[in-house]
Structure 1
Amino acid sequence: MDNLTHSLAGALLGQMGLKRASRFAMAGCILGANAPDIDVVAPFFLPVDNIAFHRGPTHALFGLPVMAAGTVALLWLLHRLWPGREGIAPFRAGPLFLITLLATATHPFLDWLTTYAVAFFAPAGDGWYSANAIFIIDWVYWIILVAGIWLSARRWKQGWDHPGRPARVAGAILLAYIAANVGWSLHAERSLAAALRQRGIEPRLIVASPPPLAFWERSLAWRSADRWGAASFSPTGGLALEPASYPLGLDDPRFLRARKERRLVRSFLYWSRMPIVVDVAGRPVLTDQRYFRALSDDRVPAAIRRRAPTGQFQIPLDLPSGP
């Protein structure tokens, strides 16, 4: 998810009442909810590629306590440098760590809901997991989170009874919205699997992708042992399976050579769940089905299409050997 959503999720936890646990508890919720994304700076210091490392160790089960502990350590240092005035809440490292850990855990959970996937067991395991239920930027999230935060913040300020109740209600509504979208994506994927089998095609993987605004619709990517194709699904139109299918292209000699010689290609393959080799403007390109056509979809706002890092998901295979 985008970092605004992660920040709002942390703030919602704080407004539920967790901000009373310790000094800097609200800061712990917000910083912890964003902490796993520190991995975006890893390529500047480590011999790793962002495509393979992002949403890896810092987002994994083994990394969450480390992220939470690091956040608490920074807040403890701030507490030591800036003791604050009399009457403020005491700094309680234990409770602060627990609520920061909870906030940190919301980050991979929200990321798991998107199609990009999360390596939950890195570095011990290399599997990538996703629910394929929510677009990376979701306007419904923002409405629910902002409403819950604002209403509870107002109650805290006015000294009303049960000030954290609106935030907790918003959290329950958000979980219901998430569950509905997960179920809808599963229904779309199963409907496509049944349609493909009726045509004599055994799908190996199907991924549903919700567009950024119409969360009730799904774009579907499927692949069999040797071919790939696409479909769409909506409440009104049902399943629409594109008649054409295409070879995966993973036997292309240029791909086989690039995989052997270029680290970036191997990193891409480590992350990619649906790799394909396609022709783009006369050039062989390694890409991923989930994002190959996403930016040509009219349902994606033009501003997002212009700013999307297409190069991250398209690797030309006719370049000289190198990293």
Structure 2
Amino acid sequence: MDSVTQIALGASVGELVLGRRIGNRALLLGAVVGSLPDLDVLVPFGGAVEDFTYHRSFSHSLIVLTLFAPLLAALLNRLPFGHGATFRQWWLMTWLALVTHPLLDALTVYGTQLFWPLTDYPVSGSIVFIIDPVYTLLLLAGITLALRRNVGAHQWNTAFLCAASAYLVWAAVTKHRVEHRVRQSLQNQSISFDRLLLTPMPLTTLGWRFVAMNESGYLAGYYSLFDPPGHEIKSIQHPSNNQLLATLNDHWPVQRLQYFTHGFYSVDRVDNEIHITDLRMGLERAYIFAFTVADILPDGSVAPANRQAGTEMDFPGASRLFYRLFDPAVELR
């Protein structure tokens, strides 16, 4: 999730555990502790694909963070203001503020390695967009009321934190229902596919985008909770061009991207480069992550590469996304 949301979540958790003990300092410290996992963006991992796929690994591991929590709690407990709470209370606050960060990240589509180093499998619940105003505003409302430190401040923060958590449950249930609806519609149209991915549209869980992989490539389409009952969900077929990887199957960046994207990727030749695009994040002609995995030399041979590809965004615009929520005739290609 975005930094503002993670700061708000950490502050809310800090107030929940220590607000009655150390006042508003609990919000500040919770916000700081809850932001620590994202410091891995400062670590160079050695290449474009490495930076992309090793983000949210060790620093987002529930195992690593659980081991780190008592050490951080002991440090905070020794500070001048730390005597307002017991070591166990500091331990609980630091642990909750740390682990809720990757748990929330795991609900996006990116992929979070929750159980590193036991496995580097990227968990991606894909029930919320990386920025979700509803969830963030609920957290901000709770901590804003808590900052006033009047009667009921603690209860207000707790109530809004519970409401934000309930929203995530609603998003998970909604995704399950939408996935069933999409599968049913594709089957009714005699469209076969091997894998199906659903992701929320930007900033909302009222609209969803789906990608279905098949032998010919992939299908992409959209569904809104406001679509009329019985509406036939439209999808557009796109080629995957996997034949371009024929000589690159042993190239580590190719293998890593295939694994990290759960197979939801496409391959394209752009000028004299071969690109792999992550289909999970973005829209058609407006994908966020693409990588150059090979250069085509003048003699026609292929030289392995590993760098982020420059992408030209042909974004349909926020207005078209908004209109698609209420009008299934609006096309987002």
Query: Structure 1 residues 226 and 120, CA, compared in 2 at 3 Å: closer, same or farther?
Result: farther
How many pairs does the alignment contain?
A: 296
Q: TM-score, normalised by structure 2?
A: 0.76
1:317 equivalent in alignment to 2:306: no
Please, which moves more after superposition, 56-65 or 18-27? 18-27
- For 1:68 and 1:207, the matched residues in 2 are separated by 35
Give the match for residue 301 of structure 1. none
- Give the C-alpha shift of residue 172 in structure 1: 1.5
1:321 alignment partner, SS class: strand
> Which residue identity is paired with 2:304?
S
- For 1:47 and 1:74, the matched residues in 2 are separated by 35
Conserved in 1, the CA contact under 8 Å of 2:10 and 2:30?
A: yes
- For 1:17 and 1:56, the matched residues in 2 are separated by 27
Between the two proteins, what is the percent identity of the paired residues?
25
Give the match for residue 329 of structure 2. none
Conserved in 2, the CA contact under 8 Å of 1:28 and 1:99?
A: no
1:9 alignment partner, SS class: helix
- For 2:187 and 2:202, the matched residues in 1 are separated by 30
- For 1:46 and 1:284, the matched residues in 2 are separated by 17
Indicate which of 188, 212, 221 corresponds to 2:211.
221
1:257 alignment partner, SS class: coil
Conserved in 1, the CA contact under 8 Å of 2:76 and 2:90?
A: no
1:317 alignment partner, SS class: strand
- For 2:141 and 2:76, the matched residues in 1 are separated by 28
Q: TM-score, normalised by structure 1?
A: 0.78
Indicate which of 180, 183, 200 corresponds to 2:173.
183
1:264 equivalent in alignment to 2:253: yes
Map residues 146-295 of structure 1 onto 2, 5 A cutoff. 146-154=140-148, 156=149, 158=150, 160=151, 162-224=152-214, 227-237=217-227, 241-250=233-242, 252=243, 254-261=244-251, 263-273=252-262, 274-280=264-270, 284-291=274-281, 293=283
Query: Structure 1 residues 6 and 317, CA, compared in 2 at 3 Å: closer, same or farther?
Result: same
- For 1:73 and 1:121, the matched residues in 2 are separated by 24
- For 1:315 and 1:145, the matched residues in 2 are separated by 39
2:247 alignment partner, SS class: helix
2:276 alignment partner, SS class: strand
Residues 120-175 of structure 1: per-residue CA shift (max 9 Å, x gap): 22222233222222110111123211111111221x2x4x2x43110011012111
Query: Structure 1 residues 210 and 32, CA, compared in 2 at 3 Å: closer, same or farther?
Result: same
Please, which moves more after superposition, 181-190 or 124-133? 124-133
Conserved in 2, the CA contact under 8 Å of 1:51 and 1:271?
A: no
Conserved in 2, the CA contact under 8 Å of 1:287 and 1:313?
A: yes
Conserved in 2, the CA contact under 8 Å of 1:28 and 1:72?
A: no
- Give the C-alpha shift of residue 91 in structure 1: 6.1
Residues 35-65 of structure 1: per-residue CA shift (max 9 Å, x gap): 2222223325899811121122322221221
2:198 alignment partner, SS class: strand
- Give the C-alpha shift of residue 202 in structure 1: 4.2
Residues 86-124 of structure 1: per-residue CA shift (max 9 Å, x gap): xx7446433212211111121112112211122222222
Please identify which structure carries the higher strand content. 2
- For 1:57 and 1:226, the matched residues in 2 are separated by 37
Task: Point out where structure 2 has 5 or more consecutive residues left out of the alignment.
Answer: 297-302, 307-333
Give the match for residue 73 of structure 2. 72
Conserved in 2, the CA contact under 8 Å of 1:219 and 1:230?
A: yes
Please, which moves more after superposition, 203-212 or 134-143? 203-212
Conserved in 1, the CA contact under 8 Å of 2:216 and 2:239?
A: yes
Residues 239-298 of structure 1: per-residue CA shift (max 9 Å, x gap): 654454234333x2x42433424x4333323321212213456853211221362663xx
Give the match for residue 305 of structure 1. none
Conserved in 1, the CA contact under 8 Å of 2:45 and 2:51?
A: no
Conserved in 2, the CA contact under 8 Å of 1:230 and 1:241?
A: no
Map residues 93-104 of structure 1 onto 2, 5 A cutoff. 93-104=87-98
